[in-house]
Chain A
Amino acid sequence: MGVDRTGYSPRVQHKIVYAGASNVSYQAASQELAELADLRIGPKPVERLVRRIGRERIDQRDAAVVAHQRLPLMKQDAVANPRRSTPSTVMVSIDGGRIQIRSKPSKETQSEPAANHWRESKTAVLETYQSEVHPTDPDPHVPRCFHDLKRTTKMIRGLGHALPVGLDIDAEGPPPKTKTTETSETSETSETRNARSIRPGRPKRLVRSVLASRKCSEDFGPIVHQAAWARNFFGAKQKAFLGDGLPVNWTLQRRHFARFTPILDFVHALSYVFAAAFAGRSLSEGAAIYKRWIQAVWEGRVAAILPELEARSTALGTPPKESVESDPRRLVFEAWRYLRNNAERMRYDEYRRQGLPIMTSAVESAIKMINHRVKGSEKFWSEPGAEAILQLRADYLSETGVMDQFWSTRETQAGHARPYRRAS
């Protein structure tokens, strides 16, 4: 009948695991079960079941990865199931999150500060899109929201990127309008302004799946590879791999998604350009330069601003090793180095023409939703507990019905004979 030995019916188990993986804590999950489902189940039983089901999902995931790796190399990057439809445009994006892991006390860790409980988790988002290939760039002008200096500053601070010392957009009031912005504003009617809220040519997202784990990049790569393969991503016409500038992302891309177009997140590029434009300059001077530079980056002409950045870096001088993050010399030098290293992944005009996404907002949004469950100064996880909750949280954020399928299969397989006690 599909009943296991947990003492809960399959439907009750669905509710417990969903509540345990989606609420901020097991305590909150227990309260929600009582309030919404009239189920009186304490936090500890919720935790036990979440860990058990999480473990089962991890075993399934790992078995699928092993089976995928056993395939001939050619088949590993082919269409997994030709009978299922193959998406036309796909995107894989990877980023890192933070989670506190309770480590066993040892001589080494006893002397370390509490901050050392923070460890990295990995998150990947796999999305399919409906998009079209355009003869030219469908959206050649940088969106107006990126000209809003106050909003942009807030967004960059949110990314944790350093800004020049003393940059205070609020205190200095709105910057004077440059010629370019005046022209574009006068030519734009309110109608076109409203229409701009939907970026022309922007691909329409269809189905999302999420992966999250505590595994290192080397082990996480095959997990993402298998998941993309299972969704027939390798048969798509347009394939994009998005990441921030971390070299490990591009190593993963080369190793597992070599036929995907590598794209640097536009917002990360913008944060470097913004910081460098304002470094050591007045607000009005910095604003004019920023707007010119970001338009060039948006148009995929990063090579046009690299000499300017290099000259500016030379004029300011090499940043000393002990310089702070907000030191103008460091901001300009790092922006120049970052843009130079990623230039080949910044052909944004061409990506838009091909109907590909250019921002990692999907994976960042997924990380925020995962953090809602796992991240907090008061939240400490064991390694197995962390892996289980990351797996389930990602499963429930996925739109592929992975948990429905899991429960259905589990119920079919449950009820097999198992010894429950040994005679004394």
Chain B
Amino acid sequence: MNQDAAAVRKAFQVRLGQMARELGRELYPDGLPRGTKFSELEDLAGALGDEMARQFIETHVRGQAEDWPDDELGECPACGGPARKTPDQPRVLTTTRGDVAWKERVGNCPACRRFFFPSKPSHGR
């Protein structure tokens, strides 16, 4: 990955600004109603940002999990024998921006009847 979060934020500042204005126009076509408390605005902005971040994470994790080649299930961690594919398992992870879900490849060793999550090549490496 090795992307500096602060540098990415700076690089996308203009585009994110456009998105923020678009969302704002959609939510408040007549402008921010008078009497809106700052904390309400802050909560709303936080929720939008969190959902954006959550979907960003989910999209990438899902994409990587789905791209995992079936022939790279690896070897059984117990006996070292070849693994075979079994139905993907649903997985949910709590992140700082909410829960993200995806389906994960699962390997099965016919010899020792173990199920395991393949690790090589690992996600994101």
Do A417 and B116 touch across chains, with their CB atoms under 8 A apart? Answer: yes
Q: Is the pair A415, B95 in contact by a Cβ cutoff of 8 Å?
A: no
Asked if A179 CB lies within 8 Å of chain B CBs, one says: no
CB-based contact B96/A416 at 8 Å: no
**Which of B93, B114, B118 contacts A3, CB < 8 Å?**
B93
Q: Are A9 and B114 in contact (CB-based, < 8 A)?
A: no
Contacts A39-B96, A415-B123 given; does A420 touch B117 at CB 8 Å: yes
Contacts of B75-125 to chain A: CB distance below 8 A: 77-78, 92-96, 107-108, 113-120, 122-124
Cα distance A43–B119 when bound, in Å? 32
Residues of A within 8 A of B92 (CB): 7
User: Are B116's CB and A422's CB within 8 A?
Assistant: no
A15 at the interface (CB under 8 A from B): yes
- A421→B106 CA distance, assembly (Å): 11
The A1-59 residues at the B interface (CB cut-off 8 A) are 1-3, 7-9, 11-12, 15, 37, 39, 41
B121 to chain A, nearest CB (A): 10
Known pairs A15-B96, A419-B77, A420-B116. 6 more at Cβ < 8 A?
Answer: A7-B94, A11-B95, A11-B96, A417-B74, A417-B107, A420-B117
Task: Give the bracket for the number of chain A residues in contact with chain B.
Answer: 20 to 34
Q: Say if the beta carbon of B64 comes within 8 Å of chain A.
A: yes
Q: Is the Cβ of B124 less than 8 Å from the Cβ of A417?
A: no
Q: How far is the CB of B122 from chain A (nearest CB, A)?
A: 5
Which B residues are closer than 8 A to A by beta carbons? Answer: 61, 64, 74, 77-78, 92-96, 107-108, 113-120, 122-124
Q: Is the CB of B94 within 8 A of A12?
A: yes
| Chain A residues positioned under 8 Å from B116 (CB to CB) | 417-420
Are A423 and B123 in touch, CB under 8 angstroms? no
For the residues of A in contact with B, the DSSP-based class is: loop
Closest to A421 in B: B115
Chain B positions within 8 Å of A418 at CB level: 77, 116-117
Measured in the bound complex, the distance between the Cα atoms of B77 and A395 in whole Å is: 33
Residues of B near A12 (CB, < 8 A) are 94-96
In chain A, what residue has the closest Cβ to B118? Answer: A417
The chain B residue sitting closest to A417, CB to CB, is B119
Binary CB contact string for chain A from 137 to 157 against chain B (1 if under 8 A, 0 otherwise):
000000000000000000000
Complex Cα distance A186/B115, Å? Answer: 84
Are B94's CB and A417's CB within 8 A? no
What B residues does A419 contact at CB under 8 A?
A: 77-78, 114-116
Asked whether A423 lies within 8 Å of B114 as measured between CB atoms, the reply is yes
Contact call A3/B123, Cβ cutoff below 8 A: yes
Give the residue among B95, B108, B118, B124 with the most A Cβ atoms within 10 A: B95
Roughly how many angstroms separate A151 CA and B89 CA in the complex, as a whole number? 66
How long is the Cα–Cα vector from A37 to B95 in the complex, in angstroms?
11
**Complex-state Cα separation, A12 to B93, whole angstroms:** 10
Complex alpha-carbon distance, A15 and B95, angstroms: 11
Contacts of A37 in B (CB 8 A): 96
Q: CA A418 – CA B78 in complex, angstroms?
A: 9
Within the complex, the shortest CB–CB distance from A407 to chain B, in Å, comes to 14
Closest 10 CB pairs of A and B: A1-B123, A417-B119, A1-B124, A423-B113, A9-B95, A417-B77, A419-B116, A415-B122, A419-B114, A416-B119
Name which residue of chain A comes closest to B110, CB basis.
Answer: A423
In chain A, residues 282-305, which have Cβ atoms closer than 8 Å to a Cβ of chain B? none
B94 pairs with A9, CB closer than 8 A: yes
Q: Which residues of A contact B113 (CB under 8 A)?
A: 422-423
